[in-house]
Structure 1
Amino acid sequence: MGTLVTNHPQHNRLSNEHQCSLPEPHGLDLSRAAPSLLKDSPHCRPRSPWWSWSGKAIAAVEINSSFYRPHRTATYERWAASVPENLLFAVKVPKAITHELRLKDADDQLDCFLSEVSGLGPKLGPLLVQLPPSLRFEDGVADSFLTELRARVQGSIVCEPRHASWFTPEVEALLAELRIARVAADPAPIPGADEPGGWRRLSYYRLHGSPRIYYSAYTTEYLAATAEVLARDAAAGVETWCIFDNTAAFAATRNALTTRSLVQARL
């Protein structure tokens, strides 16, 4: 994945993600005091883990490996114990729930996942529910799943739908009622998907790279405009995360660091 910016009620953070024993950071968090940054790097070495060189810069990590395979609770506990005190982890819900079961009859899988991520303890940030582009909003299925998820989770939840049926006033009202934020994504798969929605006390931006998804670096002009939005949300007391996912050509870290500087200048 890429790089993240978030605004947590207690301080600002920026982060980035790595593929080593611990997922590499890829984002920036504007929530506590000063934004910090994370990014995923294939050059991570056990003798020089990313948190040793990024230290004060990193404040948030989005774990994506959980989407593909489960991790033991002990693994999450080890990750939580290995990072700076102020760092939080967002965790992606498994594809077994979102893409294979398509939100149906997923109670057992959901309970197992939540038990695993409990190992992060107070370092657990938002849970990310990314849905397949073909998954329509289906009454009795999507609303039931989200209601059950909220009943089990006290913390932050974000949803990244990619089908037009999710972008209606009725679904927006449901997400707001359940305190679930809708991800703002670039490129936007659906008109309006580039703006945050749902519960508006949390903003979660996922920037995948444009025009070439996962590869393209963002222009300075785009980053400046993004920084304005992030600073605005942070100043309003909104918990704000921004993930740069354009990691295939190693653009995410550079874009995140630039954005962090631009945001800091505005706070």
Structure 2
Amino acid sequence: MTVFVGTSGWQYRDWRGALYPPGLPVRLWLERYAAGFATVEVNNAFYRLPARETFEDWRGRLPEGFVVAVKASRFLTHVKRLRDPEEPVGRLMSRAAGLGDRLGPVLLQLPPTLRADPGLLDACLDCFPAGTRIAVEPRHDSWWTPGVRRVLEARGAALCWADVRARPVAPLWRTADWGYVRFHEGRAAAWPHYGRRSLTTWADRIAETWPDGDVYAYFNNDPNAAAVGDAEVFARAARRSGLSTTRTPGTPAG
């Protein structure tokens, strides 16, 4: 198995001096990011879905083997609330296809006010092209039912394992032969970093749950460049747990 370790986005000005040299132009940040990481989650696609030409441009600037996870547009998840999914899913996938072989999983982050509707979720998942890896991040407690789990398992969709303040906020279900983990906020100093013990616990959980298959792990705690440092600490912990990981800025792939 391979754990793909990255961050949720790369365009953060307070990463200067941590990942980006002070004088490096913003237009070259993607290339610098890709020299340190082998995967990224495009979080800003949630707020404004990029044009296909933008995805194509990214593909041309990224090295072979780089994986881009795409967070679905809020039009699908928060405006339509998964209803009438054909058009927004089609638009998302037709644009993201510009990534070519760099395209990885698609993340559906659901609104915290959206109550469980297994049928609605199933109909939405059915609209994605066959073979697309979909991760689902519900944020209302009503989703934790056997019926929802059966939908995810039948579609081969991964329940996103989300962490907030060093604790899982969802059941740790394995619903697919691959996994997706998001780290939102740690409890260590300085905020919002994660502590080494917390990241080691997560690495052990992943190793126990997915002895085979890929896992995508993204750090969304971007302030103060916490995501960059935590990704590297996590990758080292994962290797100590016997996992193979993609590269991080201070650690080559292995």
Q: Give TM-score, length-normalised by structure 2.
A: 0.81
Normalized per residue, the structure richer in helix is: 2
Match status 1:61 vs 2:53: no
Match status 1:245 vs 2:220: yes
Moved more, 219-228 or 58-67: 219-228
Deviations 1:213-233 (A, max 9, x none): x94211111112122233445
**Residue type of the alignment partner of 1:237:** D
Contact kept in structure 1, 2:144 and 2:171, CA below 8 Å = no
Match status 1:13 vs 2:16: no
Aligned position for 2:161: 184
SS of 1:207's equivalent in the other structure is: strand
Give the C-alpha shift of residue 102 in structure 1: 0.5
Aligned position for 2:200: 224
Match status 1:169 vs 2:146: yes
Q: Cα 1:258–1:111, aligned 2, differ >3 Å: closer, same or farther? A: same
C-alpha distance in 2, partners of 1:42/1:66? Answer: 26
Contact kept in structure 2, 1:63 and 1:90, CA below 8 Å = yes
Give the C-alpha shift of residue 51 in structure 1: 3.4
Q: Cα 1:45–1:230, aligned 2, differ >3 Å: closer, same or farther? A: farther
Give the C-alpha shift of residue 42 in structure 1: 11
Deviations 1:49-96 (A, max 9, x none): 3533662x4111100111111211111111011112121000001000
Aligned position for 2:250: none
Give the C-alpha shift of residue 169 in structure 1: 0.9
Give the C-alpha shift of residue 191 in structure 1: 7.6
Q: Any unmatched runs of 5+ in structure 1?
A: 1-6, 25-38
Aligned position for 1:3: none
Match status 1:262 vs 2:237: yes
C-alpha distance in 1, partners of 2:173/2:224? Answer: 26
Aligned position for 1:120: 99
Match status 1:105 vs 2:84: yes
Contact kept in structure 2, 1:186 and 1:206, CA below 8 Å = yes
Contact kept in structure 2, 1:129 and 1:158, CA below 8 Å = yes
Aligned position for 2:181: 205
Aligned position for 2:245: none
SS of 2:93's equivalent in the other structure is: helix
C-alpha distance in 1, partners of 2:19/2:144? Answer: 31
Give the C-alpha shift of residue 153 in structure 1: 4.0
Moved more, 86-95 or 242-251: 242-251
Q: Cα 1:66–1:170, aligned 2, differ >3 Å: closer, same or farther? A: same
Q: Cα 1:105–1:115, aligned 2, differ >3 Å: closer, same or farther? A: same
C-alpha distance in 2, partners of 1:51/1:224? Answer: 29
Give the C-alpha shift of residue 241 in structure 1: 1.2
* Corresponding residue pairs, total: 234
C-alpha distance in 2, partners of 1:207/1:42? Answer: 25
Percent of aligned pairs sharing the same letter: 29
Moved more, 74-83 or 132-141: 132-141
Q: Cα 1:40–1:74, aligned 2, differ >3 Å: closer, same or farther? A: farther
Q: Cα 1:215–1:40, aligned 2, differ >3 Å: closer, same or farther? A: farther
Contact kept in structure 2, 1:19 and 1:40, CA below 8 Å = no
Q: Any unmatched runs of 5+ in structure 2?
A: 243-254
Contact kept in structure 1, 2:6 and 2:219, CA below 8 Å = no
Match status 1:85 vs 2:77: no
